[in-house]
Structure 1
Amino acid sequence: MQTGENEQALRKIIDFTRFLSIAILLIHFYLSCYNTFQQMHLTHPIIDHILWPLSKMPVFKTALMAKLNALGLLIVSLIGSKGKRDENIRAKTIVTYCLSGLLIYFFSSYLSGWLYIWATAIGYLLFMTGGGLLFRMLKLKLGGDIFNKENETFPQEERLLENEYSVNLPAKYQLKGKERNSWVNIINPFRGTLVGGSPGAGKSYFVIRHIITQHIAKGFAMLLYDFKYDDLSRIAYNALRQHGGRSFYVINFENIMHRSNPLEPETMLDITDAIESARTIMLGLNREWIKKQGDFFVESPINFVTALIWFLKKYEGGKYCTLPHVIELSLVDYQDLFAVLTSEPEIEVLINPFISAWKNEAYEQLEGQIASAKISLARLSSPQLYYVLSGNDFSLDINNPDDPKVVCLANNPQKSQVYGAVLSLYVNRINKLVNRKNQQKCSLIFDEFPTIYFNGIDNLIATARSNKVAVTLAVQDYSQLKKDYGREQAEVIMNIVGNVICGQVTGDTAKQLSERFGKINQLKESVSINAMDTSVSKSTQLDYAIPASRIATLSSGEFVGLVADDPTNKIDLKIFHNEIQNDHTAIAREEARYQEIPAVRKISTAAINGNYQRLKADISQLVETFTKTTTP
């Protein structure tokens, strides 16, 4: 700690050094311009007697030597000086003073007499002024990084960590103003991956496409929900053409390709499967019911549809157990319908409230219980839907080691509510079948995940890791998820995933992510300027590594996030903020070679309508069979 005495002694030393510099220069003037001083009668014998011996010293041996020594002592005195720091001093001003001073100071040697003295003195003063400004200049970066970007940089994983399940994305990041190469290593995709970002952030182009291609290359079976068919399905199909080993299927309700029955009776082992299927289809058709689960007028339609499904599963070995048959059966008159349903003892507890309301002539209550189910299911009464849902081109156990599959579920943004409900049923049934032991590794990828209802997604992520099921969810932000799934379910989904890759998002999503990424030590500078002195202080403090405002201003292709590791492959630097690198030219060349997904079948409108009428006839025949047996 400095004391007042030390500062005073330092000032005296500095003043004495500068005095020596000036003294050497004055003596040099007297000795080198003696004739000029003599003509002006400015000499004196006593001064001559004192200074002539000094002229023999090495300092005054030559004019250049004297000037250099004077200049050196001046620089020493300037280094030790303490003046008031001033942030308004500019480097350009300092350079101008110093350079002009040095030029005049040294080139004055070509002059003589008083011109030499004055030129040298002016050069000396100019250099002294510039040097004084140099050591008073306030060097601050307070205005150089107005968005604090450099302070918010941190080391990131630069190693390529690859295994038989990993997804590896090359990237670049900034560290203290320097660009460095890095990798986003999703080495454990079975802990769940959430890909977020507003429209245009680059979710599909920079992340999802690589998850698809790398997982197919590594032998994964796959379920791909393609919201804007066939953007992702084309990628999957052409990747599978290169690597093979799996069958490729597409469920498309507009351009019919493959057919599959999501209510396969062989895969429905007990009535809980029927309950989950009914809940999925009803909540998928009525998304606002998700937030009202448990209400009487929500659970009643679900129980009604459950009874229909389970009855058809049990009737004659399930030969009519399809969703179109369920829809047609729901439209039967109550008297005939209840006569049919009461024949199955296992659903008695489910249909008893409806039969009681009917017998007691509580028709308004009965309509309230059943009409919402009938109205919702009626939206699915389409020949195209019936045709796809009543076929059996492939089974839904997509990760069966004996017959692994890549299945694409095609949606259309213009009809997403109706198609999304049916596709949700496929997802629900596939979820039940893939989450089993001793199956092939499997990847479930959902683009625009909130557009379907996946009942039990949190349970799948939590339990499927040991069964080698990797789940990837693409969402726009937390508010979208909350709107479609409810706050509680949305929070569970956001918090249960182990890998997060997020582009530009705002609001609550950005705040949640910023808190999740945590804080880092950041260097802070502050300056205090007053009439007497200027002081600069530096300190470190913990602040958010990636603030919410930074996440809200990410560019397309720029992502933040964190990755999960596993016991055999530890990652210390899990958090990242980088720009994922795509080889745009290579991708363009690859897409130019893509082949279109081939048509599977040519089906006529007459055949589709014939199937539609046949399904209706099946239910009419079924009901007629029961009404005949009950008619006296």
Structure 2
Amino acid sequence: MQTGENEQALRKIIDFTRLLSITILVIHFYLACYSAFRDLKLTHRITDQVLLPLTRMPIFTTMLVAKISSMLLLIVSLIGSKGKRDEKIRPKTIATYCVTGLLIYFLSSYLITWPWLYIGATAFGYLLFMTGGSLLFRMLKLNLGADIFNKDNETFPQEERLLQNEYSINLPAKYQLKGKERNSWINIINPFRGTLVGGSPGAGKSYFVIRHIITQHIEKGFAMLIYDFKYDDLSKIAYNALRKHGGRSFFVINFEKIMHRSNPLEPETMLDITDAMEAARTIMLSLNREWIKKQGDFFVESPINFVTALIWFLRKYENGRYCTLPHVIELSLVDYNELFTLLSSEPEIEVLINPFISAWRNEAYEQLEGQIASAKISLARLSSPQLYYVLNGNDFSLDINNPDDPKIVCLANNPQKSQTYGAVLSLYVNRINKLVNRKHQQKCSLIFDEFPTIYFNGIDNLIATARSNKVAVTLAVQDHSQLKKDYGREQAEVIMNIVGNIICGQVTGDTAKQLSERFGKINQQKESVSINNTDTSVSRSTQLDYAIPASKIAGLSSGEFVGMIADDPTCKIGLKTFHCEIQNDHDAIGREESAYSPIPPVRTISQSEILNNYHRIKADIKIITDES
């Protein structure tokens, strides 16, 4: 117990020990230099009777033993001493005092022939060492400021077991625990609960995380959809992984270097008008991203209804023979008189086109243009021979997780044309989403690099409901603010909160704060120092503080990630949070990439064939209008 009586007793013991040390040294001087004291008549009969018999004690038998005994007692007294911490104390000063004092103290033995010089040198060395030792032991007791960034306090135990199953993604890593580096694993054992990979440009999302999700899921037999924003970064990884493991077909949708063709509006997959409405909403909101925040407005819903009517008319016309997006675009350009006459022939879309026909018959042309022109202008941006050629083909069906014909499909985008291509690719994603989220299909992985560059209507529903259908969704984003800008605040919050697995590199601002709060708090030791004129006191306490502060998330290096994983009822994980550096074998990856085979061309297509297809679609619409 820290009471005044205990402290006084400790001081008395320290003082007594130091006094004993000095006493031994003084007796040693008297006995070793007795002749010098006698010559100066500093001896006394009584003193001699008391001290001279001490020469028979082991401690005084030799000069060295006496000095060592005195020095050991001095060191003991210094260890228990207290004192005010002096911030000017430097290790160099302490070392100088202690080393010089010890050298003088022990080497003074060579001066024994000059007794008074010997006594002076030994005493001087003793005082030098006592001064240095006092500084040394006070400094050791108050060794503060060694962890100025609180790194050791903010470390915590992490999962070190390798936990695998037929769906898992396992990333080797290293982490710090109380100043020691330890091996760990990021075990995403349930990817069907959704995975969000975040981090600013250069944080290592693709190199450290996405590439391993692709290769490990291909190895485990997943069907796969990859949205490759910077084609062919991810597609090449998938293609070469598939060459090694096989078992699935490989397709690429690329509007610049044409590979495969597919119709996202396949009539076989458009079962009712709600499918047409979903497709129309996806394509229009992708082309006009600011409309996402204005859904429900008259001049947003009107163009969507108009496009829905066009799609469903073509789906019903001659059993969907012309049901493609290029035909929808060309049909939207038909003169109102012919167009409304044509659409009126289909009863199922009467409720959709009625407001447009009413405005046209009542000669409310300004209102009509406001309803339809935004759709026509938006769709006109897709009027490209290249796009028409790809969208008008049928090389493969979009049910990528069909157990009889599993596929790996790569959707290629170009950052320089991301808005135009992203709108069409969003339609592919929307249609594939409808087809993969069904029971009794093959396990499937949907991977979206730079997810905010496409519009995925219903991504939250997919993550929430696809778990039982073995559909794993991986979203790569740079920042929460980017998601809010493109999807709106409410949708962005839902996406951030609904995913079960988060792996995040360096981010700042609100994203870092939100993640820090999500990771929770841990017990941390706090230390405070109080310095007054006579003493220095140190108080230590334990309190809850953020395990990974926002400032630390904002300062992560490339390859360093924080996050939290979700477990499974069959495999509980106690340590879900992690802050570690993912370990990539850079040399092995370099050798692997140098041996990659390029994705082979699928077809050789001339520009004239592309243009002929373009004109044929226009001719198809002419035939439809003439027949009406």
1:249 to 229, 251, 263: 251
Per the TM alignment, residue 210 of structure 1 is displaced from its structure 2 partner at its CA by 0.7
1:355 CA drift (Å): 0.7
State the partner residue of 2:40. Answer: 40
**Deviation, structure 1 residue 605:** 1.2
- For 1:442, the equivalent position in structure 2 comes to 444
Q: How much has 1:140 moved relative to structure 2?
A: 4.0
**Match of residue 412 from structure 1:** 414
Contact 1:15 1:77 (8 Å CA) reproduced: yes
User: Residues 209 and 3 from structure 1, CA distance in 2 versus in 1: closer, same or farther, beyond 3 angstroms?
Assistant: closer
TM-score, L = length of structure 2 = 0.97
* 2-structure distance, mates of 1:18, 1:368: 99
Q: Within 5 Å, which residues of 2 pair with 1:53-64?
A: 53-64=53-64
Structure 1 residues 127 and 220: CA distance shift in structure 2, 3 A: same
Q: After superposition, what is the alpha-carbon deviation per residue over 1:278-325, rounded to whole angstroms, capped at 9, x for unaligned?
A: 000000111110010000000000000001111111111110111111
C-alpha separation between the residues in 2 aligned to 1:5 and 1:247? 85
Alignment partner, residue 90 of structure 1: 90
Question: Could you say what secondary structure the match of 1:463 adopts?
Answer: helix
2:290 pairs with 1:311: no
Cα distance change on mapping 1:358 and 1:142 into 2, 3 Å: farther
Alignment partners' CA distance in 2, 1:143 and 1:78 = 23
Measured in 1, the distance between the counterparts of 2:247 and 2:563 equals 33
Q: 1:230 to 1:8 in 2, by over 3 A?
A: closer
One-letter code of the match for 1:221?
Answer: A
Distance, in Å, in 1 between the alignment partners of 2:239 and 2:111 is: 87
Question: What is the match of residue 23 of structure 1?
Answer: 23
Identity %: 84
Gap change, CA 1:380 and 1:80, over 3 Å in 2: closer
Q: CA–CA distance in 1 between the matches of 2:172 and 2:559?
A: 12
Q: Which residue of 1 aligns with 2:483?
A: 481
What stretches of structure 2 of length at least 5 have no aligned partner? none
Change (3 A) 1:15 1:142: closer
Q: Is the 8 A contact 1:150 1:176 kept in 2?
A: yes
Most deviating of 9-18 and 598-607: 9-18
Q: Secondary structure at the residue paired with 2:138?
A: coil
Greater mean deviation of Cα atoms: 453-462 or 113-122 = 113-122
> What residue number does 1:630 align with?
none
Q: Do the aligned partners of 1:221 and 1:246 also contact (CA within 8 Å) in 2?
A: yes
1:5–1:564 CA distance, 2 compared to 1 (3 A): closer
- Indicate if the aligned counterparts of 2:230 and 2:415 stay in contact, CA closer than 8 A: yes
Query: How many angstroms does 1:14 deviate by?
Result: 2.9
Give the 3 Å change call, closer, same or farther, for CA 590–4 of structure 1 in structure 2.
Answer: closer
Indicate how the Cα distance of structure 1 residues 156 and 353 shifts in structure 2: closer, same or farther if over 3 A, else same: same
User: SS at 1:567's partner residue?
Assistant: coil
User: Corresponding residue for 1:629?
Assistant: none
Do the aligned partners of 1:87 and 1:139 also contact (CA within 8 Å) in 2? no
Q: Is the 8 A contact 2:82 2:535 kept in 1?
A: no
CA distance in 2, matches of 1:140, 1:555: 32
The DSSP-based 3-state class of the residue aligned with 1:136 is helix
- Corresponding letter in the other structure for 2:499: V
| Partner residue, 2:399 | 397
Provide the C-alpha distance between the structure 1 equivalents of 2:184 and 2:509, rounded to a whole number of angstroms. Answer: 28
Q: Structure 1: 5+ residue runs without aligned partners?
A: 627-632
Q: Is the 8 A contact 2:188 2:501 kept in 1?
A: yes
Tell whether 2:227 aligns with 1:225. yes
1:609-620 to 2 correspondences below 5 Å = 609-620=611-622
1:531, distance to aligned residue in structure 2 (A):
1.2
| 2:608 partner amino acid | A
Q: Tell me the amino acid that sits aligned with residue 109 of structure 1.
A: S
In 1, Cα distance between the equivalents of 2:383 and 2:291?
21
Q: Distance between the aligned counterparts of 1:377 and 1:337, measured in 2?
A: 16
Distance 1:90 1:319 in 2: 88
The match for 1:155 is 157
Partner Cα separation in structure 2 for residue 100 and residue 407 of structure 1: 78
**CA spacing shift, 1:127–1:600, aligned 2, 3 Å:** same
Q: CA deviation at 1:24?
A: 2.1
Distance 2:78 2:609 in 1: 98
1:338 and 2:340 are equivalent in the alignment: yes
Q: 2:266: which partner in 1?
A: 264
**Which one-letter code corresponds to 2:583 in the other structure?**
Q
**How many equivalent residue pairs?**
626
Contact 1:564 1:574 in 2 (8 A): yes
SS of equivalent residue, structure 1 residue 445: strand
The letter of the residue matching 2:195 is: T
Distance 1:509 1:184 in 2: 21
Equivalent position amino acid for 2:302 in 1: S
Q: What is the deviation of 1:541?
A: 1.1
Contact 2:169–2:213 under 8 Å retained in 1: yes
Q: Which residue of 2 aligns with 1:119?
A: 121
Matching residue of 1:568: 570
180, 183, 189: which is aligned to 2:182? 180
TM-superposed CA distance for 1:84, in Å, is 2.4
Give, in whole Å, the separation in 1 of the partners of 2:38 and 2:246. Answer: 106
| More displaced stretch, 428-437 vs 142-151 | 142-151
Q: Determine the structure 1 residue equivalent to 2:102.
A: 102
Deviation at 1:85, TM superposition (A): 3.0
For the residue of structure 2 that corresponds to 1:571, the secondary structure is coil
User: CA 1:296 to 1:142, structure 2 compared with 1: closer, same or farther past 3 Å?
Assistant: farther
Preserved CA contact (<8 Å) 2:83 2:536: no
Establish whether residue 518 from structure 1 lines up as the match of residue 520 from structure 2: yes
Q: Give distance in 2, aligned partners of 1:159 and 1:9.
A: 52
Please identify, of 411-420 and 20-29, the stretch whose mean Cα deviation from structure 2 is larger.
20-29
2: CA distance, partners of 1:532 / 1:33: 39
State the alpha-carbon separation in 1 of the partners of residues 437 and 322 from structure 2. 27
Q: Cα distance 1:24–1:151, how it changes in 2: closer, same or farther (>3 A)?
A: same
SS in 2 for 1:481: helix
Partner of 2:167: 165
Residue 374 of structure 2: aligned partner: 372
Deviations 1:373-393 (A, max 9, x none): 111111111111111111100
Moved more, 168-177 or 30-39: 30-39
**TM-score, scaled relative to structure 1:** 0.97
Distance 1:416 1:14 in 2: 78
| Cα distance change of structure 1 residues 142 and 102 upon mapping to structure 2, 3 Å threshold | closer
Distance 1:577 1:6, change over 3 A: closer
Are the structure 2 counterparts of residues 66 and 138 from structure 1 closer, same or farther at C-alpha, using a change threshold of 3 Å?
closer
| Alpha-carbon offset, residue 3 of structure 1 | 3.7
Distance 1:5 1:538 in 2: 23
Residues 87 and 137 in structure 1, CA contact (< 8 A), matched pair in contact too: no
**Which residue in the other structure is 2:547 paired with?**
545
- Tell me the equivalent position of 1:294: 296
1:83-135 Cα distance to aligned partner (Å, 9 max, x none): 22334323332332222222222222222222222222122222222222233
Mean Cα deviation higher: 532-541 or 390-399:
532-541
Task: Note the C-alpha offset of 1:138.
Answer: 5.7
Structure 1 pair 4/514, CA: closer, same or farther in 2 (3 Å)?
Answer: closer
Counterpart residue identity of residue 210, structure 1: H
Return the letter of the residue paired with 2:44.
H
Q: Deviations over 1:129-149 (max 9, x none)?
A: 222223322644542222222
Deviates more, 1:312-321 or 1:134-143: 134-143
Contact 1:85/1:138 (<8 A) preserved = no
Q: Is the 8 A contact 2:448 2:474 kept in 1?
A: yes
TM-aligned CA deviation for residue 47 of structure 1: 2.1
